[in-house]
Amino acid sequence: MLVLVAPGQGAQAPGFLTPWLDLPGVRGALEAWSDAAKVDLIRYGTEGDADEIRDTAVAQPLLVAAGLASAYTLFDDPAELPRRVGAIAGHSVGELTAAALAGVLPDEDTVRLVRTRGLAMAEAAAITETGMSALLGGDPEVTIPHLEKLGLTPANVNGAGQIVAAGTLEELAALEADKPEGVRRVVALKVAGAFHTRHMAPAVDALAQAAAELSPADPVIPYVSNKDGRTVATGAEVVARLVGQVANPVRWDLCMETFKELGVTALLEVCPGGTLTGLAKRALPGVKTLALKTPDDLEAARELIAEHASA
């Protein structure tokens, strides 16, 4: 059983879209999505430097567009995707990539919504100086109460021993000075704010207004939600969760538990892949993994699909 996953913010790198533009249909799709989102995705994905594409308002539509473009190149006919993929999920903004691929929202509506999401989260992040830090090592049962004691939120509980804390810069400095027992290192992440925490509450309102204008369809692929790792059957519930998730923790650990329950045998991460396959290698032993980084990975990805996808 094949699971398709989409990465979240931080997976992008300067120039990562360049090799994909040579594939049939990719440039045209990116131009159309650029028009829909009112942001030049091709320029940012090929010429943008690290600071430019770190901007939340740019990074989020860029990641979703890259995920969609790379996923569609996997199949001669995009209609094959829902017939071959056993379940789908995305990490944070990757949930919007997953929603589009699952048929919940048209691509153009998705990139417009993610542009609104990115702008709103950037504005919310500007209100207070906040950030995020990854904790290496430790036991979640010890780490999470320790974070809460410091006023921090376990914003990403990623499984495989990885937790990302989020809060004010003062709270994160206190964490550096007072690490939870068993945590070896605290690594500050290059993000613009405390995503998936109460600090993003203003973004929820903006996203809710934009989402109210959408007409979501029910997913045609089992859609696994960051909220609690459960599959969601209706498009309306998928969109409601996408809105609320902006200010609530990502439970990727629970998503991977659901993959196991569904009988996953292979996990394929769309471009710019690597982060989620790394987690899966540690948390899902025995499951084959593959990350789409460049078009050079397509042949191996198609072989994985042929071996593990549904008939």
User: Over the stretch 88-126, which tens digit does the pLDDT of each residue have?
Assistant: 999 999 999 999 999 999 999 999 999 999 999 999 999
Name the β-bridge partners of 159.
162
Provide the pLDDT for residue 161: 79
Catalytic pick from 92, 146, 225, 308?
92
Provide the pLDDT for residue 191: 81
Provide the pLDDT for residue 78: 82
Catalytic pick from 196, 199, 225, 308?
196
Which residues, at least 6 apart from 43, have a Cβ–Cβ distance to it below 8 Å? none
Is the per-residue pLDDT at 84 higher than 70? yes
Residue 44: name the closest of 28, 22, 23, 60 by CA.
60
Tell me the C-alpha distance between 63 and 78, whole Å. 19
Name the β-bridge partners of 266.
2, 288
Tell me the C-alpha distance between 99 and 217, whole Å. 10
Q: Which tokens go with 133?
A: 């830090």
Mean pLDDT of 230-252: 97
Is the per-residue pLDDT at 310 higher than 80? no
Active site residue 34: no
Active site residue 308: no
DSSP state for residue 21 in the 8-state scheme: G
Provide the pLDDT for residue 294: 97
Which residues, at least 6 apart from 120, have a Cβ–Cβ distance to it below 8 Å? 202, 203, 206, 207, 246
pLDDT in tens, 59-70: 999 999 999 999
Helix crossing, 56-72 with 26-37: angle to 10°?
150
Tell me the C-alpha distance between 180 and 102, whole Å. 39
**Tokens 């699971």 found at:** 3
pLDDT in tens, 135-178: 988 898 999 999 999 999 999 999 877 899 999 999 999 999 99
Peptide bond into 272 cis (omega under 30): yes
Local confidence band at 311 (pLDDT 50, 70, 90 cut-offs): low
Give the CA distances from residue 155 to residues 196, 256, 300, in Å, rounded to whole numbers and listed in that order. 5, 17, 33
Q: Give the sign of the dihedral formed by CA 139, CA 144, CA 149, CA 155.
A: positive
E strands, the chain, are 2-6, 87-90, 130-137, 153-159, 162-168, 183-188, 223-224, 231-232, 266-269, 288-291
Which element (helix H / strand E) includes 122?
helix 107-125
pTM of the complete model: 0.94
